[in-house]
Chains A and B, each alone.
Chain A
Amino acid sequence: MNKMQRFIKEFGWPRLIIAAFLLSLFVIAPFAGVNIGTSLTDTIMRFSMNGVMVLAMVPMIHSGCGLNFGLPLGIIAGLLGGTLAMQFGFTGKLSFLMAIVLCTPFALLFGWAYGKLLNRVKGGEMMIATYVGFASVSFMCMMWLLLPYSNPQMVWGYGGSGLRTTISTEGYYYHVLSDFLNIKIGHLSIPTGSLLFFALLAFLMWAFLHTKKGTAMTAVGSNPIYARASGIKIDSIRTLSVIMSTWLGAVGILVYEQAFGFIQLYNGPFYMALPAVSAILIGGASVNKASITNVIVGTFLFQGIVTMTPSVMNSIIHTDMSEVIRIIVSNGMILYALTRKTEETR
């Protein structure tokens, strides 16, 4: 009993309830005519697609910059890398590697400037970050049209200039990770490569948090004045964390695109931050404390609910409400997650 109570306390009631709900959806699914194998495949695939972007929340939470509502900025760096790799004619597996390489300088530059900005608005980071995300998306809406891309698979068919809203990654990095060591059992398909890639980045993040710099980052988030009195340069640590978050956002969107099969430009990145923010909060993170476990648990629960609820509900009520339900559920989860956010210190 005692052991049970401790487990509940550590895992947290909110997560237990959500997990129970998710489990009940899986139980109901066969009776509603939804195939369990397909459902599980969807859930796991969405987990592998979104995991890295949720992981991108971790550095900024640790350094006390709050939740990275400016994730679209990182996503834009990733989109630039992804489109440039295609423009330069890299194909297949190499194109994915080159996309990561090419997005890195943008991520570093954007992250550095974004970090400098956040250092000037201490205490109001999350509000400013939201608008950094929105503003950058709007700015890029113009740039996608104006930048001199010329790859015929990417530009509008008529006129021959300006990028399309949706670009297929077919022939480039489509499913390069998802199909790597893919396991297929009946309806169930496990994108091993994507999961391994996420695991690698998660491990690197975990390892970083155990180093001297990582320890300093956590301390800056926990009590910046304490950290400063211990000789830590707070601003540079915070900037570093923002750069890391931005880069992870960039890589995150590339992982997402290779699995999804399409690059979504223009307003695509607009609302990408909220699901990632919600996932990590549901996973049990607070505004200045987050662990890799929070990322994994949160992403799985959030994506599980978002995948399962619409399909099960849809089959029960026999009307195509999936999009409406998806929006209600995902925004409901976001709302719930944000009310759960706790600030442990000041």
Chain B
Amino acid sequence: MEATLLEMKNISKDFFGNTVLKDVNLTLKKGEVLGLVGENGAGKSTLMKILFGMKSIEETGGYGGTIEFDGKPVAFHSSEEALASGIGMVHQEFSLLPEFTATENIVLNRESTRYSVVSELFGSRLNTLDRQSMQKKAIEAINKLAVKLDSEMLVGDMPVGHKQFTEISRELSRDGMKLLILDEPTAVLTEHEALALLSSIKRLAASGISVIFITHRLAEILEVCDQILVMRDGCIVKQLDSGNASVSGIAKAMVGREVDTSSKKAKEVDVETAPVEMEIKNLWVDMAGETVKDVSLQVHKGEILGIGGLAGQGKLGIPNGIMGLYPAGGTVTFRGKEIKLNNPSDCLASGLAFVSEDRAGVGLLLDESLEWNISFSAMQVNNKFLKSYLGGLVKWRDEDAIREVTQRYVDALQIKCTSTRQKARSLSGGNQQKVCLAKALALEPSLLFVSEPTRGIDIGAKSLVLQALRRYNEQQGTTIVMISSELEELRSVCDRIAIITDGKVIGIRPAHCPSEEFGLLMVGHQGEGK
């Protein structure tokens, strides 16, 4: 049994009477990786701030409980003290100098220096830099991570992943680093980079450094952590060994209610043989950062088709192009009739609808009421919620019908609002997403495009949105094309999943295929079966 490195006992904290942590206990052994998960606001960050001695804790009245680090009781009053005793923290936001190289960033303010004549006169602040030994130090730290990182590259020129590695290397380059806290380090990384980081974490642990790892990606936790703590409302609600934990178990503990991520009712109809609802041929879309080059796809009636792929490969361009929001070409046939591209009203009139990934930009009238947000498209496209006067010459808004339909969707999708007249801006992200969905559903579309429906919303809202999609698919027979970066989400909802790489469809697989297969497709391996 290895020695205990960190023990936090009965930690509690309140911000002016508002309790955010109560009675939290935590033990960490040397070389162990601890995963910390919880919804936004569960208290993870506050706990780490206490451990790291951040000023904001002391300024708001300190904390209760005791911390024992490396066998000694400690109470850090500043981050410098924490750093000195061997705790490093990598924050969510980068704190790097973009115009400096990786080396310079890593050893910043701890540079190796050489004594010179000038320093005799003016003191040690004018020592010259010993670049070679700085380089050596930096490379040593990078090697601990075992990643490829050019130590001479300017940070500003680096891809996001490398910036993250630079930041971690900086912490590792400190002498006597014993514990590393990583606050959502993979949030900004692509799946590929995240994998590299995870294997680095394992290496660190093997070399005796303990790691506290905070993330929202539950699969990662399972992969690297020895011990998992689930926090909810300021308490640790569950403590698990990674051996007997599962994604659904953790997710359940996080939200405190059943979240169904993988089980799915089998469809009664076989979607593969169902008639083709939409046929996309040689579609190209000119959307910056999400260019579609040549996509051909068939969408079958009544299915939920997933479109996945890494960011920037063009999956988002597909619905945006078909719905006429970005310049597009090729042919799209819907129920045997060709859809005019670059013409949103034609698409909507044919029975298509689109929930955009850009909620604030495209999806919502932020300064208008929920009533307007939900009813507007249907009013303009299908002439719903209108009263006709003078033989159709005057089409008057029917406020009662609008209120009624809004109330119906507020109930059906559990949109949390004070009234249907509330402005969309004042809703939370998850509820705004539901409004976007309600707007599309109010059109009563035969085919619905949903783009990144769960981006930036918490896990509870996520499951509600996904359940709603499935419900409309099952009950109303709405064909759904769902575009998402989260493969697990696609697998839990969709019937088939198409993976887009480099602006083209690289493969389509049934959703029950193992995730490795999709992972391979995403990185461009077509594999067998095509």
Q: When the two chains form their complex, are residues B366 and A223 in contact, meaning their CB atoms are under 8 A apart?
A: yes
Closest to A228 in B: B344
- A216 and B344 in contact (CB under 8 A), knowing A211-B394, A229-B362? no
Please report the C-alpha to C-alpha distance between residue A213 and residue B394 in the assembled complex, in whole angstroms.
Answer: 9
**Shortest Cβ distance from residue B115 to the other chain A in the assembled complex, whole angstroms:** 57
Q: When the two chains form their complex, are residues B345 and A345 in contact, meaning their CB atoms are under 8 A apart?
A: no
Question: How does the 8 Å CB contact mask read for B353-381 relative to A, with 1 for contact and 0 for none?
Answer: 01010000111111110001000110111
Q: When the two chains form their complex, are residues A226 and B367 in contact, meaning their CB atoms are under 8 A apart?
A: no
Neighbour of B344 across the interface among A215, A222, A229, A289, CB < 8 A:
A229
Q: Which residues in chain A, 212-258, are within 8 Å of chain B measured between CB atoms?
A: 212-213, 215-216, 218-219, 222-223, 225-226, 228-233
Neighbour of B376 across the interface among A207, A211, A215, A344, CB < 8 A:
A215
Among B347, B366, B380, max chain A CB count under 10 A is at: B380
Could you tell me how many residues of chain A have their Cβ less than 8 Å away from some Cβ of chain B?
A: 22
Q: When the two chains form their complex, are residues B348 and A230 in contact, meaning their CB atoms are under 8 A apart?
A: yes
Q: Name the B residues within 8 Å of A222 (CB-CB).
A: 365-368
- A231 and B381 in contact (CB under 8 A), knowing A211-B396, A223-B366? yes
* B28 within 8 Å of A (CB atoms): no
**Shortest Cβ distance from residue B321 to the other chain A in the assembled complex, whole angstroms:** 13
Please report the C-alpha to C-alpha distance between residue A212 and residue B379 in the assembled complex, in whole angstroms.
Answer: 7
Q: Name the B residues within 8 Å of A226 (CB-CB).
A: 362-365, 376
Neighbour of A230 across the interface among B344, B361, B367, CB < 8 A:
B344
Q: When the two chains form their complex, are residues A219 and B396 in contact, meaning their CB atoms are under 8 A apart?
A: no
Closest to A226 in B: B365
Could you tell me how many residues of chain B have their Cβ less than 8 Å away from some Cβ of chain A?
A: 30
Q: Name the A residues within 8 Å of B379 (CB-CB).
A: 212, 215
Q: Which residues in chain A, 95-144, are within 8 Å of chain B measured between CB atoms?
A: none
- A231 and B365 in contact (CB under 8 A), knowing A211-B394, A211-B395? no
Q: When the two chains form their complex, are residues A225 and B383 in contact, meaning their CB atoms are under 8 A apart?
A: no
Closest to B383 in A: A212
Q: Which residues in chain B, 115-174, are within 8 Å of chain A measured between CB atoms?
A: none
- A232 and B380 in contact (CB under 8 A), knowing A222-B368, A289-B367, A345-B367? yes
Please report the C-alpha to C-alpha distance between residue A134 and residue B134 in the assembled complex, in whole angstroms.
Answer: 66
* A187 within 8 Å of B (CB atoms): no
Q: When the two chains form their complex, are residues A212 and B344 in contact, meaning their CB atoms are under 8 A apart?
A: no
Q: Please give me the 5 A-B residue pairs with the lowest Cβ-Cβ distance, nearest first.
A: A231-B345, A230-B377, A212-B395, A231-B348, A222-B365
Instruction: Give 25 CB contacts A-B under 8 Å.
Output: A210-B396, A211-B394, A211-B395, A212-B380, A212-B383, A212-B397, A215-B376, A218-B368, A219-B372, A222-B366, A223-B361, A223-B364, A225-B361, A226-B365, A228-B325, A228-B344, A229-B323, A229-B344, A229-B377, A230-B376, A230-B381, A231-B345, A231-B349, A231-B377, A232-B345
Known: A212-B380, A229-B354. 11 other contacts (CB 8 A): A210-B397, A216-B380, A219-B365, A222-B365, A225-B362, A226-B363, A228-B344, A229-B325, A229-B362, A231-B380, A289-B367
